Amino acid sequence: MINLKGVSKKYSDEIVALQRVNIQIESGEFVSIVGQSGAGKSTIVKLLLAEEPVTGGQIEVGGWNITTIRNRDIPLLRRQMGVVFQDFKLLPRKTVFENVAFALEVCGEPARQIREVVPYLLKVVGIQDRAHQYPNQLSGGEQQRASIARALIHRPKLLLADEPTGNLDSINTREIIDLLSKINEFGTTVVLVTHNRDVVNTLKRRVITLDNGKVISDQKIGRYII
């Protein structure tokens, strides 16, 4: 599913985010990428989304070679991935329904499909009764669920979660991680970027640890080691 071969990323001569990183993630895996701030975790997410070009090496995601991807193919690549962030990135002037529907609208999907898919996804993430409320009327956990619903809108093979529990309390954190696990059980590959020790240790899944832009550990059933 994901293959990083000798990937390096330099923002400038002084700022080196990744150094010859090799990571291989199979389809259906649940992988946590951990490390301290500045370790290079979020850079990997940006590279996988083709938001930033690599400085060296090669990245393949679901059959796409991101290193050589053409600009016009980037939207197609992104429709095969779902992304959730710490700050949810919900549009404040749209309701939950509209936020999720927006992802289909801007990809040119017909209104009939939007009316069918959006309520289904809101039910999957457990916020169907919040559909017509605005983000500021929801709790952090509910906002993140809405964000996950939006990320799943194109039925992606890969879900990237960049610090999804960073703004949540422990109860909501548990619920979101359970939701991600459930999504993984349905066959979606999940890459969780986090520095939450408890989350990683309770998951008992594969853990890749980064430090100073290098992979220092890759354990099949890992723990937070830094």
Partner 1 sequence: MLHAFIRVVRFATQSMKRNLWLTIATSGTVVLTVVSLSFLLAIQIGISQILQSTEKQIDLSVYFYPETSDEQANSVIVALRSLPQVTDVTHISREKAFADYQEQAKGLPELMRPLEIIGDNPFGAYLIIKAKDINNYGKIIDELSKPQYKDLIESQQKHFEENRVFIQSFSDFARKVQLGALIVAIVFAFISTLMMFNAVRIAIYTHSQEISVMRLVGATNFFIRGPYLVELITYGVLAVMIGGGVFMWLLYLVQPYLNLYFGAGEIDLWGYFLRNAIFIFGGQLFVIVVLGVVGSSLAIRRYLKI
Could you list the residues that contact partner 1 (CB under 8 A)?
A: 49, 71-72, 74-79, 83, 89, 91-92, 102-103, 105-108, 110-111, 150, 153-154
Amino acid identity for residue 222 in this structure: G
Measured from the CB atom, is 65 or 201 closer to partner 1? Answer: 65
Rounded CA gap, 185 and 30, in Å? Answer: 9
Measured from the CB atom, is 26 or 51 closer to partner 1? Answer: 51
Measured from the CB atom, is 78 or 174 closer to partner 1? Answer: 78
Q: How far is the CB of 96 from partner 1 (least distance, A)?
A: 14
Rounded CA gap, 16 and 38, in Å? Answer: 10
Measured from the CB atom, is 151 or 199 closer to partner 1? Answer: 151
Q: How far is the CB of 70 from partner 1 (least distance, A)?
A: 12
- Nearest Cα neighbor of 119 from 107, 109, 132 is 132
Q: Are strands 30-34 and 189-194 parallel, antiparallel or unpaired?
A: parallel
Q: How far is the CB of 83 from partner 1 (least distance, A)?
A: 5
Q: How far is the CB of 104 from partner 1 (least distance, A)?
A: 8
Q: Tell me the CA distances in angstroms from 47 to 44, 72, 142, 215, 223, one per residue in order.
A: 5, 17, 28, 16, 25
